[in-house]
């Protein structure tokens, strides 16, 4: 290096928001550059012809080929399949798949909301009015599911996992692959301190506009789209012919709800529950009291008060109408897996379990003079 030449200044990367804006600016400068491979992979995945693992593998191979061709290694944003864009695209391009996945039976929509009106999460809900049937006539209830997925060393102590998030309609039909829609995933080893925080901010933005049923007029950072841009031109227009979708259920196991959403940790003595203010100790509010009149049964969180408390730290709960009362446990973590094992290998065990549960059901609901709760 020439001694007379001053050393080059190191480029300041700035904070996460500055880097996000810089990358977005770079993308706008390259708006006319499209990837045929990316378009093909997304289409094949959306149609169910390829799994997320196959898409990721092919994309990684393409990146390696570009590196061998002399491509520069640079920091890039990770793409997210935004729910409001996916919802709209499916409606516009594949209407049959849209209704099969989100609303196979139109009559289910009215039945669902009428049955759910007493649910605590609908208290003072901005989208649902008990006196106005039109408020839910085209509003589809959604569930968002997340979990840690082992990727290597499955079953081993050194296994590596990734957090994967998807969403679905609570009224969906068809198979799980047809009903569950992939959103995003990240390797837990590569996940940064603010990765999940930024992701939930994006999800809060996308989900809020999906519930409104119109295209957004600004990005998730609150910056209005530039005048004349495609996003600005369609801002405020209907997403999917008037159809909307509101997040009703947040599904996951206790570990995921704690590390990904910042909700209560189940093992602590003080406030171990997200839904109520029970304790884990030996005081009068302990959840270990199983009596019908236990004190903790009257300590359910009010949605509004919970959102104003220190327990609420995740941007997902800033979505109008979403609170701790929207949280529910993943069903596969609360059922006996033996009931769904291969019948050829466990037919005797399955029959015994079903027979045993049938006897319990009969004894509680039909053979005892007391109410099921008292029994």
Q: Do residues 99 and 203 share a domain?
A: yes
The verdict on residue 112 lying in a domain is: yes
Q: Do residues 145 and 211 share a domain?
A: yes
Q: Do residues 52 and 154 share a domain?
A: no
- The series of mean pLDDT values per 10 residues for the chain, 375 residues long, is 49 61 63 72 85 85 72 60 96 94 93 91 88 90 93 82 94 86 90 88 96 96 93 95 96 93 91 92 91 91 89 91 91 64 50 64 66 63
Q: Do residues 110 and 170 share a domain?
A: yes
The predicted pLDDT at position 73 comes to 45
The verdict on residue 135 lying in a domain is: yes
Listing DSSP states for 193-238 in one string gives: TTHHHHHHHHHHHHHHHHHHTB--SB-TTSPBPPTTSHHHHTTTSB
Q: Where are the beta strands (DSSP E) in 62-159?
A: 139-152
Residue 250: which domain range? Answer: 80-263+314-333
The predicted pLDDT at position 47 comes to 84
Q: Do residues 58 and 109 share a domain?
A: no
The verdict on residue 252 lying in a domain is: yes
The verdict on residue 243 lying in a domain is: yes
CA atoms in the 13 A half-sphere facing the CB of 130: 8
The verdict on residue 106 lying in a domain is: yes
Q: Do residues 54 and 127 share a domain?
A: no
Q: Which residue has the tokens 């003079």?
A: 369
- Number of structural domains, the chain? 3
The verdict on residue 158 lying in a domain is: yes
Helix (H) or strand (E) holding 36: helix 36-46
Burial class (CB in 10 A: 0-12, 13-18, 19+), 370: exposed
Q: Do residues 359 and 257 share a domain?
A: no
pTM above 0.95, yes or no: no
Q: Do residues 253 and 113 share a domain?
A: yes
Q: Do residues 230 and 101 share a domain?
A: yes
The predicted pLDDT at position 356 comes to 65
How many Cβ atoms sit within 10 Å of the Cβ of residue 44? 15
Q: Do residues 99 and 200 share a domain?
A: yes
In sequence order, the 6+-apart residues with CB closer than 8 A to the CB of 9 are: none
CB 329 within 8 A of CB 254: yes
The predicted pLDDT at position 355 comes to 61
The verdict on residue 301 lying in a domain is: no
Q: What is the C-alpha to C-alpha distance for residues 211 and 224, in angstroms, rounded to an integer? A: 19
Q: Do residues 132 and 255 share a domain?
A: yes
In sequence order, the 6+-apart residues with CB closer than 8 A to the CB of 301 are: 274, 275, 276, 277, 311, 323, 324, 325
Q: What is the C-alpha to C-alpha distance for residues 168 and 105, in angstroms, rounded to an integer? A: 15
The verdict on residue 128 lying in a domain is: yes
The predicted pLDDT at position 339 comes to 55
Q: Do residues 121 and 168 share a domain?
A: yes
Nearest to 116 by CA among 230, 248, 2: 248
Residue 81 C-alpha from the chain's centroid: 12
The predicted pLDDT at position 124 comes to 85
């Amino acid at each position: 290096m020439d001694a007379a030449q001053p050393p080059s200044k190191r480029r300041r990367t700035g904070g996460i928001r500055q880097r996000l804006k810089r990358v977005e600016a770079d993308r706008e400068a390259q708006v006319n550059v499209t990837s045929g491979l990316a378009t093909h992979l997304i289409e094949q995945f959306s149609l169910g012809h390829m799994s997320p693992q196959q898409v990721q593998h092919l994309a990684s191979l393409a990146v390696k080929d570009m590196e061998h061709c002399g491509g520069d290694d640079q920091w890039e944003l990770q793409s997210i399949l935004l729910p409001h864009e996916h919802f709209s695209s499916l409606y516009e391009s594949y209407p049959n798949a849209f209704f099969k996945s989100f609303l196979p039976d139109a009559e289910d929509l009215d039945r669902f909301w009428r049955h759910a009106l007493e649910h605590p999460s609908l208290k003072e809900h901005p989208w649902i009015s008990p006196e106005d049937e039109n408020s839910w006539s085209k509003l589809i209830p959604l569930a968002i599911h997340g979990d840690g997925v082992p990727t290597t060393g499955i079953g081993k102590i050194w296994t590596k996992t990734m957090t994967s998030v998807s969403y679905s309609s609570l009224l969906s039909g068809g198979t799980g692959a047809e009903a569950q829609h992939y959103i995003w995933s990240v390797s837990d080893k590569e996940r940064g301190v603010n990765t999940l925080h930024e992701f939930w901010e994006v999800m809060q933005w996308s989900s809020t506009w999906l519930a409104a049923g119109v295209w957004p007029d600004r990005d998730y950072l609150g910056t209005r789209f530039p005048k004349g841009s495609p996003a600005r031109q369609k801002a405020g227009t209907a997403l999917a012919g008037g159809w909307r979708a509101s997040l009703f259920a947040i599904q996951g196991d206790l570990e995921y709800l704690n590390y990904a959403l910042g909700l209560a940790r189940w093992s602590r003595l003080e406030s171990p529950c997200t839904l109520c203010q029970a304790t884990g100790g030996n005081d009068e509010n302990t959840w270990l009291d199983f009596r019908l009149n236990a004190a903790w049964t009257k300590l359910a969180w009010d949605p509004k008060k919970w959102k104003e408390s220190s327990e609420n730290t995740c941007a997902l709960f800033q979505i109008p109408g979403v609170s701790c009362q929207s949280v529910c446990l993943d069903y596969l973590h609360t059922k006996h897996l033996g009931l769904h094992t291969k019948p050829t290998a466990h037919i005797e065990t399955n029959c015994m379990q079903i027979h045993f549960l049938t006897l319990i059901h009969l004894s509680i609901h039909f053979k005892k003079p007391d109410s099921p709760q008292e029994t």
